[in-house]
Amino acid sequence: MIRLVIADDHTIMREGLKRILDGISDISVVGEAIDGYETLAQVRKGGFDQLLLDLSMPGRNGVDLIRQIRHEAPKLPILVLTMHDEEQYAVRTIRAGAQGYLTKESAALQLVSAIRKVASGRPYITLEVAEQLALNVMTPNDSVPHKRLSDREFEIFTMLVAGKSITEIADPLHLSVKTVSTHKTNILKKMGMSTMSDMVQYAVRNHLIAPTPDSL
């Protein structure tokens, strides 16, 4: 039996995942968490075999949370389930210690097989993620502007190019507006850019966000 904890801040999503898993004889949902703090509390309490983790939750989230979990529970398998496209976060989450990466769009068809594969000790990644990992090894970080960013800077970068204001970024990440502004300045400098328009156009060209009429 694979005892699973689901960490996702959306009630509808958690209920939907439980419906997908309902009746699966070898998988049992034994706990839930709605933010990064509850997730860490579940990890510290233990009593389960695998964590199904959303990347975007209130409190501590994203790659930072994966690193913290890996530090506190080195053997706990983590399967990331996220709305983010693979190109954005997959390589960073795998490098941080996740064993699998699954988008919410494909969850209905692939969730059960992904959970079983990760529980067996094998990674669950798509061919696209495998290619990204290979390219990440083969391509020097300095030659790809967004790879120069730290995990936190990359997280803020993706929120900025998605159109979020500094205040909208600061609140869910529990950062001050001043700290986010400093990160924004550092991101522009590291990427060799001077405006938000430059960043958005770069993100579209590199498939980090979907194109909009204004960015074409």
Measured over the CA atoms of residue 185, residue 87, residue 7 and residue 15, the dihedral's sign is positive
pLDDT given at position 105: 80
| CATH code reported for the domain at 2-136 | 3.40.50.2300
Q: What residues does each domain of the chain span?
A: 2-136, 141-215
**pTM, whole model, 2 decimals?**
0.74
| 20: nearest Cα among 102, 129, 131 | 102
* Residue 199: per-residue pLDDT: 93
So what's the pLDDT on residue 128?
72
Give the model's pLDDT for residue 103: 82
Residues pairing with 78 in the sheet: 51
Integer CA distances (angstroms), 126 to 8, 40, 115, in order: 22, 27, 14
pLDDT of residue 145: 87
| Segment-wise mean pLDDT, segments of 10 residues, the chain, 216 residues | 95 93 94 94 97 84 87 95 70 88 83 95 82 67 77 87 91 87 95 93 79 45
From CA 67, how far away is CA 94, in angstroms rounded? 10
The first and second tokens of residue 19, run together, are 């419906």
Q: Computed over its alpha carbons, how large is the radius of gyration of the chain?
A: 18
What is the domain class of 141-215 according to CATH?
mainly alpha
Residue 15 and residue 91: Cα distance in Å, rounded?
28
pLDDT value of position 30: 97
